[in-house]
């Protein structure tokens, strides 16, 4: 089983202006704008998503499985917004799309799940690896305003640390500078169980 990002987020949870304000960089100082916008903000978002098991901004994923199995299928990257399609390789080796009436989608659980609807049976799939694909959308929304403030504040703290240490050696970072103990605690309420 694997997960593939099929459509990346079209925006970031934080704007360049928000980060510059937090990092105390004057608005008219633009020398590091590209670094902040194109490296530090995406790196902080990706770290936050990895540590929490979440998708902060709307993005599309594909989960690939060898079979449907016998229970609900969990979909990482909470919160689950929707399932676009459930596809399977039929016995003739052709990709088919399952009728949406065949399954139910649980967007309330974290992680979200797909399961058979009552009284239904999954179709027969060709017996080989990667014969089932579930295409879905995850994330809080298309704009940073939908992302919980604790997650954005964690990102700001991480970005500030990366920005201030961008020229320092690993020895200096490990030996002399310690992060405040509460910072990672900002993520605790948002960690997906089992992640």
What is the rounded distance in angstroms from the CA atom of residue 88 to the CA atom of residue 74?
17
Which CA distances in Å does 186 have to 18, 39, 157? 18, 22, 10
Assign domain 2-56+148-190 one CATH number from 1.10.3230, 3.40.50, 1.10.1760, 1.10.4160: 1.10.3230
For the chain, give every domain's residue range: 2-56+148-190, 60-138
Q: pLDDT-based confidence at 85, cuts 50/70/90?
A: very high
Share of the chain above pLDDT 70, in %: 90
- Furthest-apart CA atoms within the chain: distance in Å: 63
Q: pLDDT-based confidence at 178, cuts 50/70/90?
A: very low
Helix, strand, coil percentages (3-state) for the chain, rounded to 5, are 30, 25, 45
Is residue 16 over pLDDT 70? yes
What is the rounded distance in angstroms from the CA atom of residue 142 to the CA atom of residue 151?
16
DSSP class per residue in 42-109 = HHHHHHHHHHHTB-SS-EEEEEEESS--SSPEEESSBSEEEEEEEEEE-TTS-EEE--GGGEEEE-SS
The string over 15-46, giving b where at least 16 C-beta atoms fall within 10 Å of a residue's C-beta and e elsewhere, is: ebebbbebbebeeeeeebeeebbeebbeebbe
**Mean pLDDT across the stretch 61-71?**
95
């Amino acid at each position: 089983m694997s997960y593939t990002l099929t459509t990346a987020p079209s925006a970031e949870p934080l704007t360049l202006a928000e980060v510059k304000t937090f990092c105390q960089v004057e608005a008219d100082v633009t020398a590091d704008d590209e670094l902040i916008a194109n490296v530090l903000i995406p790196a902080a978002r990706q770290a936050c998503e990895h540590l929490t098991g979440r998708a902060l901004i709307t993005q599309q994923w594909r989960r690939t499985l060898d079979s449907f199995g016998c229970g609900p299928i969990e979909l990482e990257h909470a919160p689950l917004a929707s399932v676009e399609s459930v596809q399977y390789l039929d016995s003739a080796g052709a990709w088919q799309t399952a009728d949406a009436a065949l399954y139910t989608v649980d967007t309330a659980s974290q992680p979200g799940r797909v399961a058979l609807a009552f009284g239904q049976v999954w179709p027969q799939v060709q017996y080989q690896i990667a014969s089932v694909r579930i295409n879905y959308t995850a994330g809080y929304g298309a704009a940073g305003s939908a992302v919980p403030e604790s997650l954005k504040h964690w990102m700001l703290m991480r970005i500030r640390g990366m920005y201030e240490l961008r020229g320092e050696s690993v020895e200096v970072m490990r030996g002399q500078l310690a992060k405040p103990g509460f910072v990672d605690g900002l993520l605790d309420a948002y960690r997906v169980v089992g992640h």
